[in-house]
Copies of this chain bind each other. A is one copy, B any other.
Amino acid sequence: MIIVLKPDATEQQITHLVKRVKALGLKPMISKGVERTIIGVIGEEDVLRVQPLEIFPGVEKVVPILAPYKLVSREFKPNGTVISLNSHAAVGGKPLVIMAGPCAVENYETLLAIAKSVKKAGATVLRGGAYKPRTSPYSFQGLEEEGLKYLKDVSKKVGMLTITELMDVRDLDLVERHVDIIQIGARNMQNFDLLKEVGLSKKPVLLKRGMASTIKEWLLSAEYILQNGNFNVMLCERGIRTFETDTRFTLDINAVPVIKGSSHLPVIVDPSHSTGRWGLVPAIAKAGIAAGADGLLIEVHNKPEEALCDGPQSILPDRFAKLMGELKRVARAVGRDL
């Protein structure tokens, strides 16, 4: 941590600061420049992070040197994490993982029909929401426990793994019993109590990026989960909020290589929510793979006209099957399998 002093900082103020830094068991290194004095602080930066040094008289700004996260960083674990889903599927290895299915679990028949088609096209994980975070209280809120059961039954029948969103700490047990991967949605990325609870779970967690969260904040939210003992976390880029209104969100494609550089956790791209328009899903799915993502989360519906949520961004099973062929070629071009 580096403390930059104001041009008119007094000797007394500097002495006061130095004393405080020493009291924390750290070593201050003073450099007096022509226009500014700076104090470099050596030692465990964490001790200082909680101290509001900006507020000390004479201080202009405080510059942290180290990244604020540890367990999720690539410095902590240089090799990429590979999360084993079952005996023949894993996230983060050479093969990509495709998760597909409807936005929400609507009924058994529809789920089964969609599951069969995405399984046939090559998807490994069936997605489907039982608890839906809806902007409006007047929108469909999900089938809850009934939806979880359909997910479990259908996935067993077709031979797929499952992922669903958990919104409320009180539903954790139920969700754990029914699905293979727990999704934390964008709106709950900083629901810290929820993060702590899934940190105690044994299930892999897919953590979506908050729509206005920086990559740093996203990694810190993942840190909450790892810190509680669950290292099986994958990060899902699903678009951030910008001024552009032609698409629902703006996929931050830069985030894929940035995360790959800063963290050992696998990265998933969601081309459905990040665009909000089914016609854009294929192009963005391919871009995600080309940028280095370890998998995709795609909304597929056999009757988008009747979908109870996110119809406009769901692609048809046929388009999905065709896309899988296209993705295979892009995957190979960048040294991955599908």
Contacts and interface: CB of A to CB of B under 8 A. Distances in A.
Give the number of copies in the complex: 4
A24 to B, nearest CB: 12
Contacts of A254: 244, 246-247, 250-251, 274-275, 280, 284
18 contacts: A34-B43, A35-B65, A52-B306, A52-B310, A52-B312, A54-B311, A55-B278, A68-B136, A135-B221, A136-B223, A244-B252, A247-B254, A247-B258, A256-B287, A257-B280, A326-B333, A329-B333, A329-B334
Interface in A239-264: 240-247, 250-258, 260-261
A215 B246 contact: yes
A318 interface: no
A43 B31 CA distance: 12
A192 B133 contact: yes
A323 interface: no
Q: Which of A2, A75, A193, A254 has the largest number of chain B CB atoms within 10 A?
A: A254
Contact of A168 (B35, B193, B260): B193
Interface bin, chain A: 35 or more
A305 interface: yes
Contacts of A305: 52, 55-56
A42 B34 contact: yes
Interface in A267-298: 274-275, 278-280, 283-284, 286-292
B52 A42 contact: no
B279 A38 contact: no
A212 B69 CA distance: 23
A156 interface: no
A224 B167 CA distance: 16
Interface string A215-235: 111001101100100000000
A88 interface: no
A140 to B, nearest CB: 6
A322 to B, nearest CB: 13
A307 interface: yes
B220 A290 contact: no
B246 A216 contact: yes
A222 B81 CA distance: 41
B245 A240 contact: no
A214 B170 contact: no
Interface in A136-192: 136-140, 167-170, 187-188, 190-192
